[in-house]
Amino acid sequence: GLVPGYQKGALHKKVPRPRDFGRLVKAIADEVKPMLTIADGIVAMEGDGPSSGTPVALGILAASEDPFALDMRLCDLLRIPRKSVPYLRPLLDDSAYASLVTELPPEWKALQPLRFKLPSTLKTRLIPQWAARLISPLLWIRPAFDNARCVRCGRCAKACPMDILRLKVEGGKAEGVPRLAVPSKCIGCCCCHELCPVKAVAMRQSPLLRLARAMGASGERTLLVDADLRRPQARPVKAGGGFQFDRDGKDLTRAIHRCVGVGKCRADTQATGGFMCPSYQASKDERHVTRGRARVLQEATNGRLISGLTAKEVRESLDLCLSCKACSADCPAGVDIAAFKSEVLHRTYRNRLRPRDHYVLGWLPRWTRLLARLRLVIPAVNAALRIRPLARLVLAVGGLDARRKLAAFAPVGFRHWWKREGAVGQGLPPGDGPAAGLRRPVVLWVDSFSDGIDPAVPQAAVELLRRAGYDVIVPEAAACCGLTWISTGQLDGAKRQLSHLMGVLAPYATAGIPIMGLEPSCTGVLRSDLGHLFPDDPRAHAIGAATVTLAELLTDPSTAPDPQVWQMPDLTGVTAVVQPHCHHHSVMGFERDVALLEAAGASLQVLAGCCGLAGNFGMQRGHYDMSVAVAEQALLPALRAASADTIYLADGFSCRTQAEQLAGVRGQALAQLLAEKTR
């Protein structure tokens, strides 16, 4: 602050040679004798100057009574040769600083960034001085102006110490870009380049200078061999209270850097059954692809985004991710953007006020349980939500898209039905199947959606399983998987839900009783997310191993029904458009379902790709257009082309909801189809 504003440029004009200018800087410091010099590197500017550089979060604050010693140590920290800094060069032989070795103390090494981009102009100054003097007329660096970026503010002309930049003004308005009136007088100080607010000034080098750099005439390498690699820059980001990233040493940075840019996420693999990446296939925008999102996350962990994982740019990048988890299965590196999105939302909004839709959709199981206790008001609630203006108002207030429709709540939920009728075997003909004591036990785990919104699915499952000779067990206590908390990044709430669930289901899992899920996304939580949120809890892994889909239960030799008691119904003549749920494809795999149906004679058109609703995604404001565009990739064309007698088969509640809202087609789950054909 001793040389304010544009007076710095005047000093450049008086002392144009870098070595002499370095002596001037030292002379000023010697004259002032500062008591304390502080270097603020909490957020540093790497690259080309204060206006054209890139902010990087280094997290460093250094101070010293000796400004020269401080700058030498900072050079060592950033791997800048001390002799490349003109004002430090004369001090290198000074006995007072000879003892300051370049080896960093341990406490400094812990702060050392593995890469720090130096100014592009610095490398040009590393040419040996004796050579530079001989060929100096042929070694120059001068500004070049970008006409498209230049805003004609005139700051460069004002900053030029040689006063040789001219900006044409006509009628009080600047036209064109600045030009060098006398190029030979340019001293290469880079003031115009460093102070341009829109990065419209690049420093152009003479052909000989470019050749010298290409031949390594600088004689110095300021960066390590791995300095241009992305991965070594990133510092570890240890798992916190959310996902533990146990496959990656509990290091979120390692998990994010699984993406190495293979680019399979950009390929259209629907013809071979691939689901990745629905937002890219619908938009063809690199920002909305697995690789693009991974790059933004890597920039956050590399320190390029000042706010890190909570930066606005990260949330914007992940906003149109459907959390379909297709990348976790289809990506060769197993990149799981859905888990990263959940973790980012968790870290961003933890202990803070969240967007409204996080409470409306993220807490949906709570609202269904609340209405289940107030069953008498459910018909009135459903009737009110069928009034379109009122429904739009509710959607808008809740942060949802007003073009959507709200699902109707079941007047009688499954658990209420089970306690009243299901547990006593209503609907099963007397004597059908083996005696109760000979039945094979299976836990029917009913998720919140199946319980409070579509109880017909678990009711059909009860009927089917009993006919197939199973002893159906429905735990007395309700157990939510916390899926809606996970998808909205409320991982503390999700873990509370799952802790309760483990207390309910673990005794069955450890006893070797299979646990059958109906809703694929919820089943996927038990098979995948549960173990990644609680990697050190043996109950989580026991439940994951015991959890099965209906198709797995019916086809696995260890759990399949006795063929003398029950056999698959003949599905010859059944034609179906089948929409696998994304999590079914990604976590459990859909091959068992296809094999089961085709072996029974069904004719299937199995779709590849997401339905587009994807749980809360398609309901949230700002996502409707992408939701529909994704549905147009496979689902909607298939439904439009289907014949009248074709059934739509989808285990996912979201998949059935999307088809009904966008195409007017009601779907059914596998349990409903098999129960109907078994009667």
Q: Quote the pLDDT of residue 41.
A: 84
* % residues pLDDT > 70 (the chain): 87
Q: Quote the pLDDT of residue 649.
A: 98
Q: Quote the pLDDT of residue 469.
A: 94
- Phi/psi for 166 (5° steps) reads -120, 135
Q: For 187-219, what is each residue's pLDDT tens digit?
A: 777 778 877 877 788 878 778 767 765 654 444
Q: Quote the pLDDT of residue 225.
A: 44
Q: Mean pLDDT, to the nearest integer, of 544-549?
A: 97
Mean pLDDT comparison of 108-112, 206-210, 292-296, highest-scoring range: 292-296
DSSP helix/strand/coil, 564: coil
- Per DSSP, the residues of 67-112 read HHHHHHHHHHHTT--GGGSTTTGGGGG-HHHHTS-SSPPHHHHTT-
Strands 141-145 and 165-170: unpaired
Q: Mean pLDDT, to the nearest integer, of 252-280?
A: 90
Q: For 572-595, what is each residue's pLDDT tens digit?
A: 999 999 999 999 999 999 999 999
Average pLDDT, whole number, for the chain? 86
Closest CA to 319 of 493, 485, 483, 488: 488
Only one residue has tokens 């920002």, namely 287
Element (H, E) at 517: strand 515-517
Is residue 429 over pLDDT 50?
A: no
Is residue 230 over pLDDT 80?
A: no
Is residue 79 over pLDDT 90?
A: no
Is residue 177 over pLDDT 90?
A: no
Is residue 358 over pLDDT 70?
A: yes
DSSP helix/strand/coil, 373: helix
Q: What would you report as the CA-atom Rg of the chain, rounded to the nearest whole angstrom? A: 33
Only one residue has tokens 């010298």, namely 212
- Phi/psi for 179 (5° steps) reads -135, 155
Top-confidence residue, 228 or 368: 368
User: pLDDT band at residue 175, thresholds of 50, 70 and 90?
Assistant: low
Predicted TM-score of the model (pTM): 0.70
- Per DSSP, the residues of 376-430 read GGHHHHHHHHTSHHHHHHHHHHTTB-TTS-PPPPPSS-HHHHHHHTGGGTTTSPT
Q: Quote the pLDDT of residue 217.
A: 43
User: pLDDT band at residue 233, thresholds of 50, 70 and 90?
Assistant: low
Mean pLDDT comparison of 130-134, 306-310, 602-606, highest-scoring range: 602-606
Q: For 616-626, what is each residue's pLDDT tens digit?
A: 999 999 999 99
User: pLDDT band at residue 451, thresholds of 50, 70 and 90?
Assistant: very high
Q: Mean pLDDT, to the nearest integer, of 166-192?
A: 75
Distance CA 559, CA 180 (A): 83
Q: Quote the pLDDT of residue 134.
A: 65
One-letter identity of residue 320:
L
Q: Quote the pLDDT of residue 500.
A: 97
Element (H, E) at 532: helix 530-533
Distance CA 587, CA 608 (A): 15
Q: For 361-375, what is each residue's pLDDT tens digit?
A: 999 999 999 999 998
DSSP helix/strand/coil, 500: helix
Top-confidence residue, 468 or 304: 468
b/e per residue, 597-617, with b = 16+ CB within 10 A?
Answer: beebebebebbbbbbbbbbbb
DSSP helix/strand/coil, 216: coil
Is residue 172 over pLDDT 70?
A: no
